[in-house]
Chains A and B, each alone.
Chain A
Amino acid sequence: AQSVTQLDSHVSVSEGTPVLLRCNYSSSYSPSLFWYVQHPNKGLQLLLKYTSAATLVKGINGFEAEFKKSETSFHLTKPSAHMSDAAEYFCVVSVSNTGKLIFGQGTTLQVKP
């Protein structure tokens, strides 16, 4: 069975400093992995996705994630946080050939001025 674990429920950074949101996955086959962002009172937006192509995936708004099979990780990073990055971030794995998504518990990113 597939699952994802987000290692931090809350991350706080200062504006202009790097962001690291950690995600480990469990899958019996090569997974498809995603990061979604949810701003307060807004819908879910796809940040980036990994679907067995390049292991370093670049997304929107300067975010990127690296798929590391040996570590079963898919951490999300950004070199410099912006106040507008404050939101809830979800690491997600898809269940093969079903279209179903399994969400991690979410990480709240706080960006301090």
Chain B
Amino acid sequence: SAVISQKPSRDICQRGTSLTIQCQVDSQVTMMFWYRQQPGQSLTLIATANQGSEATYESGFVIDKFPISRPNLTFSTLTVSNMSPEDSSIYLCSVPTGLETQYFGPGTRLLVL
């Protein structure tokens, strides 16, 4: 299994500002994923973050809005830029750990006013 932590756990932000979310894993992993869960909705994949390469974004998500860093095999950040109320969501990172099992971080609850 993998132990994943995220910071901050929650935040309230003003529109137009940016927030950087951190994801830390207790073991080295090649791939990390970032998901968004809008209020009352399911999870949607934002991007795949591989160490040493640019993140790969899913349709509907762009690097200018959600820049991602992956400086090493245990850490990644997701920035939500120029926020609007529509960005209010739970943001989760996840890592696969063999046999197609994936573990999720506890999530960052973001409210944009």
Contacts and interface: CB of A to CB of B under 8 A. Distances in A.
Interface string B20-51: 00000000000101000000011111001000
A32 B100 contact: yes
A46 interface: yes
A44 B90 CA distance: 12
A46 B92 contact: no
Interface in B57-100: 92, 94, 96, 99-100
Interface string A70-102: 000000000000000000001000100011111
Given A43-B106, A99-B48, A101-B45, A49 B33 contact: no
Contact of B100 (A90, A94, A104): A94
Contacts of A55: none
A37 B38 CA distance: 17
Contacts, number: 48
B43 A90 contact: yes
Interface of B is mostly: strand
Contact of B33 (A90, A100, A104, A105): A100
A99 B43 CA distance: 15
B103 A46 contact: yes
Interface of A: 32, 34, 36, 42-44, 46, 49, 51, 90, 94, 98-106
20 contacts: A34-B102, A42-B106, A43-B104, A43-B105, A43-B107, A44-B92, A44-B104, A46-B102, A49-B99, A51-B99, A90-B43, A94-B102, A99-B33, A99-B102, A100-B33, A100-B45, A101-B33, A101-B94, A102-B45, A106-B41
Given A44-B43, A99-B96, 20 more contacts: A43-B92, A44-B92, A46-B101, A46-B103, A49-B101, A51-B100, A90-B42, A94-B100, A94-B102, A98-B48, A99-B33, A99-B100, A101-B94, A101-B102, A102-B45, A103-B42, A103-B43, A104-B42, A105-B42, A106-B42
